[in-house]
Structure 1
Amino acid sequence: MANNTALKENPDNHVMMNNAFYNSHISCGNLTETSDYFGTRTTVCLGIMLIVTIFAAVFGNLMVIVVIVKNRAMREMIYMFLLSLAIADLMIGALMAPLAFYNLLKECWGLPRFMCTLNLVINTTLLVTSIHTLMWMAVYKFICVKRVFSPPSRWVGNLLIVLAWAWGLLLAFLTTHFNQAVYKPKTMQCGPTYPINSYILHAANQLINLIIPIIVMMVAYIKIYLAIRQSGEFQRQHTITTEGRQRSEARAVAKTLFIVLLCFLLCWLPYFCYTNIGAFINDKGDIPAYLNAVAYAFGYMNSACNPIIYAWRFPEFRKGYKDILCKKPQYTLAIGPLGRPVMTTRKKQVRSSSAVTTTSNTSNIGQMLTRGSNGSVGNDKDNVGQRKSKEIELYHLGDDRDSVFLHADENNKFLS
């Protein structure tokens, strides 16, 4: 009775005791009671969402990385930013989301204690690196639009990418150095202990890692839009086509990057709400149980959305995805340095002894190879009668990607 009276007289004691529980590490080995914080319905829904996110993020971002690395035409700096973002998304899908799914089911930490600290480090690094990569990517694209014919050198872009990762690692180190990593109830990952005076720390964190990057990105994209619009008016007045094409490409890329930014903000919006609620609620036990799980599940889903956006907006990625999934060799006929036709695959070249015209579409080879008796291209009337007899088909023999030959009818020679 006396204890209850003292607790009513000083309700702050209850808040301190409750917060002390939320700052303690919940280990499965020391857990005496099982608590179903999330409930069966929430666990099933978020569990399915995490499973889909894991497979989509890992598979999709692996394809993005392979496409950029294998395609020499995608060595531009803007694709290097996308490569950096894909690496961060791949690590989220391969490391963070599976651990969140495990904790969603267990509701306690059953792994070694050092992995709890590692979980906090990786989580902080990837989240901060992602948003700062988006910020520096917007800045770099703005510089490229303003300086179409004299873009910044590659070392500038590489430096910005390194800065994004370095800042994420530094913030993760500071977080684990000044705070202990613990697994708290109603969460899906390890996090820092709640500090006594968290308002200043929370405000600084939100300002540096959220507000400033968003302001920089919005200002950069607005200026990109205005610059492209002004260039379009100048182009119409002076009929300049070369710069106009470059501006049109820049506008398409800038629109894509803005879509990536918008998707990032929408997916991580529940997390930003969760962090603000947790910072201003004194009694941490009053935080809704589902809020942390929903916040991180939607945040991790962003890692699966970016490869879909790239396929939607970039023809290069669509072609690269098809090459990876279909695994069909592509053949090209072109004129060689000695005037002889050259048929190339991804690995080797196959030469022939008669002249052909250049084409990248193998289905039109017969039409493009139609010539007159003197070696020059005949007129349309002569060519129509010859196309049926001189139509050439392309065959792919066996499993060897390079065992290719052109087969013609009896009136034509074999081209090998």
Structure 2
Amino acid sequence: MAGNKTMIESTQENQILQNNLFFNSHRSCENLTDTSDYFGTGTTIFLGTMLFITIIGAVFGNSMVILVIVKNRTMREMTYMFLLSLAIADLMIGALMAPLAFYNLLKECWNLPRFMCTLNLIINTTLLVTSIHTLMWIAVYKWLCVKQVFRHPRRWVGNLMIVLAWAWGLLLAILTNLFNRAVYKPKTMQCGPTYPVNSYMLHAVNQLINLFLPIIVMIVAYIKIYIAIRKSGEFQRQHAITSEGHQQRSEARAVAKTLFIVLLCFLLCWLPYFCYSNIGAFIPDKGDIPSYLNAVAYAFGYMNSACNPIIYAWRFPEFRQGYRDILCKKPQYTFAIGPLGRPVVTTRKKQVRSVSACTTISNSSNIGNTRTAGSNGSVGNDKMKEQRQSKEVELHHIDNERDSVFLHGDETKEFLQGHKAT
């Protein structure tokens, strides 16, 4: 009786070992023997549609974010640089990873060169780790900015944080490839490392450093930011601080809330992947992993790359205005007379809210009378001459500091004709 039980257990272990060897082997289309449809028609259509929408949204949306930040000189705050780094990672996911996952969802095997499987593993790991560590460093930097009221963090501190996030992601990807090998496994959409069979130490360390530690740091940082802002509000109410102080506190609170929303969206989208990675590591028989779990995990994870540009447009008016300027190509210009009598145009009339918790940026100044393109208002010639002479020096400095351009061609003629008419 005991011998039969031992024989059954040995047979089960051998079957599990064979299954694990199959699921840890590279599934190439050239020598494919198993033609099973793992995902099924319904799952393929649903996840394929999701990936297609994600690709369009991630590439288009993050390209817009990058253009808005690069073109707008007022967006030189360090938090914008963090968002730029995050947008670059999301753009690479939408342009490189999601299309490949969509293709593999349809093929269910790997028919690309073998080295691209390794490259796929390195890029995928780098972008995922970089994204979560960038979010962690954003929280740390905002906490330092709120904490050091009179001495803000130097710019090189923020730049170093961005470099550390990318360097750590790339280093971890290289180490994963060195100590393991990249294979395209059944029931997956991406090349990944082979599952650990006997040792789970590497998986535990990876989860601790790249998931639990960043989440703990971010939660602690945002709690401290919330407490600091709340104490600042109580102090302002007790000492009757001016409305400018209240405005800065309100802006800092709005920015912290926006970044927390970005973090929450990231965690919700990548939660299926974190569940899948733990299931894949701790289930003894890899053949028992549900066939849809990998596809669902990556499809929802990649969807996060398309969500961030929508959050920015929802929460930041400067991004909304930047999107309009790029898409419509007819921004609402505000004109003024610059040095040497040349017309100067700025693309915003309203104050731009900075995403810095420490300062408020404004790219418009009180420079006297201005007129919007297409308006029918007029100002007396004598009055305009007096204002031009008194403001000439001030305009010279303002013209060098803000985001302005000179009009050319037909726009200049229309402006000058309207100016002479007045």
The structure having more radius of gyration, on CA atoms, is 1
Partner in structure 2 of residue 258 of structure 1: 260
Q: Which amino acid in the other structure matches residue 225 of structure 2?
A: I
Counterparts in 2 of 1:285 and 1:300: CA distance versus 1, 3 Å: same
- How far apart are residue 248 of structure 1 and its match? 1.9
Q: Which amino acid in the other structure matches residue 191 of structure 1?
A: G
Counterparts in 2 of 1:82 and 1:114: CA distance versus 1, 3 Å: same
- How far apart are residue 273 of structure 1 and its match? 0.9
Partner in structure 2 of residue 281 of structure 1: 283
After TM superposition, list the pairs within 5 Å mapping 1:296-375 onto structure 2. Answer: 296-337=298-339, 342-344=343-345, 357-359=368-370, 361-362=372-373, 365-367=375-377, 369-371=378-380
Counterparts in 2 of 1:256 and 1:68: CA distance versus 1, 3 Å: same
Q: Which amino acid in the other structure matches residue 217 of structure 1?
A: M
Partners of 1:50 and 1:24 lie apart in 2 by 26
1:2-22: per-residue Cα shift (whole Å, max 9, x none)? Answer: xxx966643111111100001
Partners of 1:302 and 1:401 lie apart in 2 by 42
Counterparts in 2 of 1:400 and 1:16: CA distance versus 1, 3 Å: farther
- How far apart are residue 34 of structure 1 and its match? 1.5
- How far apart are residue 279 of structure 1 and its match? 1.4
Structure 2 residue 30 is the aligned partner of structure 1 residue 36: no
Structure 2 residue 69 is the aligned partner of structure 1 residue 54: no
- How far apart are residue 51 of structure 1 and its match? 0.4
Partner in structure 1 of residue 204 of structure 2: 203
Question: How many residues are treated as equivalent by the alignment?
Answer: 377
- How far apart are residue 148 of structure 1 and its match? 3.1
Q: Which amino acid in the other structure matches residue 335 of structure 2?
A: L
Identity over aligned pairs, percent: 74
Counterparts in 2 of 1:207 and 1:48: CA distance versus 1, 3 Å: same
Secondary structure at the aligned position of 1:43 is classed as: helix
Partners of 1:116 and 1:414 lie apart in 2 by 68
Q: Which amino acid in the other structure matches residue 404 of structure 1?
A: E
Structure 2 residue 270 is the aligned partner of structure 1 residue 268: yes
1:271-305: per-residue Cα shift (whole Å, max 9, x none)? Answer: 11111111110000000000000000000000000
Partners of 1:9 and 1:374 lie apart in 2 by 99
Secondary structure at the aligned position of 1:333 is classed as: strand
- How far apart are residue 249 of structure 1 and its match? 1.6
Partner in structure 2 of residue 239 of structure 1: 240
Partners of 1:113 and 1:374 lie apart in 2 by 75
Is contact 1:334–1:358 with CA below 8 Å preserved after alignment? Answer: yes
- How far apart are residue 129 of structure 1 and its match? 0.3
- How far apart are residue 320 of structure 1 and its match? 0.6
Is contact 1:85–1:130 with CA below 8 Å preserved after alignment? Answer: yes
| CA RMSD across the alignment | 2.5
Counterparts in 2 of 1:120 and 1:229: CA distance versus 1, 3 Å: same
Is contact 1:145–1:247 with CA below 8 Å preserved after alignment? Answer: no
Structure 2 residue 20 is the aligned partner of structure 1 residue 19: yes
Q: Which amino acid in the other structure matches residue 293 of structure 2?
A: L
Counterparts in 2 of 1:261 and 1:332: CA distance versus 1, 3 Å: same
Counterparts in 2 of 1:327 and 1:301: CA distance versus 1, 3 Å: same
Counterparts in 2 of 1:9 and 1:125: CA distance versus 1, 3 Å: closer
Partner in structure 1 of residue 153 of structure 2: 152
After TM superposition, list the pairs within 5 Å mapping 1:68-147 onto structure 2. Answer: 68-147=69-148
Secondary structure at the aligned position of 2:415 is classed as: strand
- How far apart are residue 245 of structure 1 and its match? 2.6
1:336-365: per-residue Cα shift (whole Å, max 9, x none)? Answer: 457x6834377xxxxxxxxx95236445x4
Is contact 1:53–1:303 with CA below 8 Å preserved after alignment? Answer: yes
Is contact 1:148–1:246 with CA below 8 Å preserved after alignment? Answer: no
- How far apart are residue 223 of structure 1 and its match? 0.7
Partners of 2:156 and 2:260 lie apart in 1 by 24
Partners of 2:271 and 2:199 lie apart in 1 by 21
Is contact 1:224–1:254 with CA below 8 Å preserved after alignment? Answer: yes
Counterparts in 2 of 1:403 and 1:42: CA distance versus 1, 3 Å: farther
Secondary structure at the aligned position of 1:405 is classed as: helix
Partners of 2:20 and 2:409 lie apart in 1 by 65
Is contact 1:231–1:244 with CA below 8 Å preserved after alignment? Answer: no
Partner in structure 1 of residue 357 of structure 2: none
